[in-house]
Structure 1
Amino acid sequence: MNHSKKPLFKSAMDFNGRPLAMCLEKIAEQKQLLNRVRNSLPADIAEHAIHCVLSNTRLLVYTDSAVWASQIRFFNQEIVKSLPANGRQTIVSVQVKILLTPTSSTSRRTKCLPSAKTIDDILGRVDDKSNDALDLALAKLGRTLKKRLADKTA
């Protein structure tokens, strides 16, 4: 028995030669939906509603940050009430998602090394002849920081 589900994604070739027209029609529907959602929100919040997609009975609203997502979630009921129930489906819930920009996900932390004076102070407080685990760890830290500072300035 084969109970495979119908795939949700259709290939562009499955649209009988009019894939571009279908895509443009879908985009127009989504823009119209986004305009309705924005009209139901206050102006300062509406500009942060970037995109809308209808998925079964759920409306997905995309925004640019978590701050605006929480503000949009506050207006969930107003959004649902503002969208008329068309013959095909009724919107029951609104889910807000955050779109991450490529620059925010690829930000890298920079190394922050202490000054040469601080490193010398660390090494000055260490007893190299001690077998104490803390003294040995502090000595190793001091040597590593001194080496990295020398590499950075070279």
Structure 2
Amino acid sequence: MTDRFKPLSGTIGPLFAQLEQRVAAHAELTERIRSALAGPEKDHVVSASCQDDTLVVLADSAAWCPQIRYAQAQLLELLNGSGENKVTKLKVRVGRRPQGLSQA
């Protein structure tokens, strides 16, 4: 008789490991973007991610989106200079910080 029930850790464990790696990469990219910005706009970056050839940066207010957009050349140079995936565009959108989390 075969065992119909398999341990949950055997099937979901690798998925959690992949998710953890993606979250760590996302957080590291966000910190790199913040450190590349020189002015007060760096405190208003909620997160950053790459989607295909586009860098997507979330700001906590629409007022900071143009300030971040002005640094487009600097941000794209930072990412392309590090040898990562080729990024050619920047999109800045408004996003919210999760409730209960303060910025680091």
> TM-score if structure 2 supplies the norm length?
0.74
Per-residue deviation, 1:66: 1.0
Q: Which blocks of at least 5 consecutive residues in structure 1 are unaligned?
A: 1-15, 102-154
8 Å CA contact 2:53–2:87 kept in 1: the answer is yes
8 Å CA contact 1:85–1:91 kept in 2: the answer is no
Partner of 1:9: none
**Residue of 38, 41, 47 corresponding to 1:45:** 41
Per-residue deviation, 1:85: 2.6
Per-residue deviation, 1:100: 4.9
Quick check: which has more Rg, 1 or 2?
A: 1
Per-residue deviation, 1:64: 0.8
Q: Which blocks of at least 5 consecutive residues in structure 2 are unaligned?
A: 1-10, 98-104
Task: Report the identity percentage.
Answer: 21
1:75-86 paired onto structure 2 within 5 Å: 75-83=71-79, 84-86=82-84
Per-residue deviation, 1:57: 0.8
Runs of 4+ residues over 2 Å off in structure 1: none
> TM-score if structure 1 supplies the norm length?
0.51
8 Å CA contact 1:66–1:98 kept in 2: the answer is yes
Aligned length: 85
**Which gives a bigger RCO, structure 1 or 2 (Cα 8 Å, sep 6+)?**
2
| Superposition CA RMSD, Å | 1.9
Deviation sequence 1:4-62 (CA, Å, 0-9, x none): xxxxxxxxxxxx53111111100111111111111110241111111011101101000
8 Å CA contact 2:46–2:96 kept in 1: the answer is no
